Amino acid sequence: MSLAQLRAETGLSVVEVLGQNAGLERLRDLQACFLRHFPEQPHVVDELDLAWRVGSHDPDVIVHGWLLENEEGVAGLLIFHTNLRTRIVLQHYVAIDESARATLPYLWLGPLFDAMLDVAETEAHERGAELLATIGEISPRHVAAWKRIGYRVIDVDYREPVHGKHWAHFGEIEFKSMTVILRCTQFGETLPIGEVAQWGVQTYLIDHYGLPRDNPSVDRSLGLARALRD
């Protein structure tokens, strides 16, 4: 789904704040929206600032910060990364302001993430990569909503570091359990689900968080992902 189709179906338009020479005001709008929805993660505000000023932290990762707007102004956000090395899209944060929800159609998440995947697949093709899937970490209470728009839960005993990418500054690694959702691309559907799931888990835990592969929790999740069958 194109961004124009997204706007026609949901009333949401996208402002790409990162990587497109967006002005500082747009960055501040994105950061303010983020803090409204995720006040417990203020470190991400600094990460957005760094990505806006100097670009991606990794030459094989395309960082996206979408400011979602409707006729009233800022309505929400979507932050995701396209990892060209592993061919996986990481869904990091999505949020919609309460005032904007009443104007959105049922299952509005579907068109939004269709548009996200369309953008990610296009940029990957331009760089000679064929994406496998998009993956996200969610709370179990949100599973039903994601299943309704085509995602599947992969049971891999997944645990993310409590301190995210900054875990190394806090001594022994602390983990919290999360539910992992996966949606394969058309190309990814031609491959064994275990192979795709393993790449997805690896992209989050090792490529994004920088966790050691031999960490017992990481090793267990990778093994369970590899063993998945349709």
Residues 97-155: tens digit of each pLDDT: 998 988 888 888 999 999 999 999 999 999 999 999 999 999 999 999 999 999 999 99
Question: By the 8 A CB rule, do 10 and 68 touch?
Answer: no
Cα separation, 81 vs 92, whole angstroms: 8
Residue 199 contacts residue 184 (beta carbons within 8 Å)? no
Only one residue has tokens 């085509």, namely 150
Residue spans of beta strands (DSSP E) within 61-109: 61-70, 73-83, 88-96
Q: Which domains does the chain have, with CATH numbers?
A: 1-131 (3.40.630), 132-230 (no CATH)
Share of the chain above pLDDT 70, in %: 100
pTM of the predicted protein model: 0.93
Q: Are 180 and 154 spatial neighbours (Cβ–Cβ below 8 Å)?
A: yes
- How far is Cα 206 from Cα 225, in angstroms, rounded to an integer? 14
Please report, rounded to a whole number, the percentage of residues in the chain having pLDDT higher than 90.
Answer: 74
pLDDT tens-digit series, residues 159-183: 999 888 888 888 888 899 999 999 9
CA-CA distances (angstroms) from residue 54 to 19, 21, 67, 77, 92?
A: 9, 11, 19, 21, 20
Nearest CA to 136 out of 184, 84, 93, 190 is that of 93
User: Residue 20's pLDDT band (boundaries 50, 70, 90)?
Assistant: low
3-state helix, strand, coil in the chain (%, to 5): 45, 25, 30
